[in-house]
Structure 1
Amino acid sequence: MPKLAIVYLSTQGHTKMMAEAIAEGAEERHVDVDIDNFYEWDPKEAAQYDAIAVGSSTFYYTMLDPIAKFIDKLVEAGVDGKIGAAFGSYGWSGEAPVQIADKLRNGGMEVIDPVLRIQHKPTEKDLFECNRLGKDLAEKMKHR
């Protein structure tokens, strides 16, 4: 069974809500999903996953610094050729998911486009889009 890791940093719980909806979508397509706050996840675990989705809130026009450092460690651990996804919530500008996707691509990952950006607390429609991303990740993993 394909394995997906969803790792996030959420300042107000909105990015966490997105991560949970992405996980539900992937699980509906029979993918094994591990979802964790990035503080609880060791980048060295990357080898055991087929895909990794990374999420962060946007703060002052950028991803949160701890997530940027985490992605650097993730790339060092070896993610070349893996499937990736980027997502996050924001209040004003929403650059974090795009920046995450760029860092993952530079690390050799095949990142699903478009990135998923949601302003403020996700609505029911927004969570549907998150669920759809989980399903898209699952299908991409299965057809590799």
Structure 2
Amino acid sequence: MAKALIVYATRTGETEKIANLIAEGIRFSGHEAEVKKVTDVKKEDDLKGFDAVVLGSPTYHGEMVQGMKTLLFMAEKAELNGKVGGAFGAFGWSGEAPDRIFDTMKNIYQMNMVTAPLRLKAAGLGGGMKMAQDYGREIAEKFA
């Protein structure tokens, strides 16, 4: 059984909801998933020991929130090369944060990324719950 770590930053709680739904999708697939708030990840060793790392942040004024930026710099030392990865986030109108996280994980960390980042306005809108759970299942499929 593989184990995934999902780390999220949030302003209103929406990105946290998405993180938990992604974790459900991973668990539905028979794997373990641990969800942590970005402020609970203190050092690069906190990112080790997982088969997948999934990172999420809301987009605020066209950017990811500062806590996720700090984590991305720290994660460069976490030896994530080749691990399964995914990126997600909630947004109001633009949604750039998940794309920037995804590109960093793919191009800088050289992770084995799912096909695209998950961008949702809200977990409860327009099928967001199913989309987030399906994203978790897609991550789980990469374990095989």
TM-score (norm 2): 0.93
- Cα RMSD of the aligned pairs, angstroms, is 1.3
TM-score (norm 1): 0.93
CA displacement at 1:139 relative to structure 2: 1.5
Q: How many residues are treated as equivalent by the alignment?
A: 142
CA displacement at 1:100 relative to structure 2: 0.3
Higher helix share: 1
Moved more, 31-40 or 121-130: 121-130
1:61-140 matches, cutoff 5 A: 61-105=62-106, 106-120=108-122, 122-123=124-125, 125-140=127-142
- The answer (yes or no) to whether the contact 1:79–1:108 under 8 Å persists in 2 is yes
Structure 1 gaps of 5+ residues are: none
Distance 1:132 1:121 in 2: 12
CA displacement at 1:82 relative to structure 2: 0.7
Structure 2 gaps of 5+ residues are: none
CA displacement at 1:74 relative to structure 2: 1.1
Partner letter of residue 39 of structure 2? Y
Distance 1:122 1:112 in 2: 23
Q: Percent identity?
A: 29
Distance 2:38 2:67 in 1: 9
- The answer (yes or no) to whether the contact 2:56–2:88 under 8 Å persists in 1 is yes
CA displacement at 1:120 relative to structure 2: 4.2
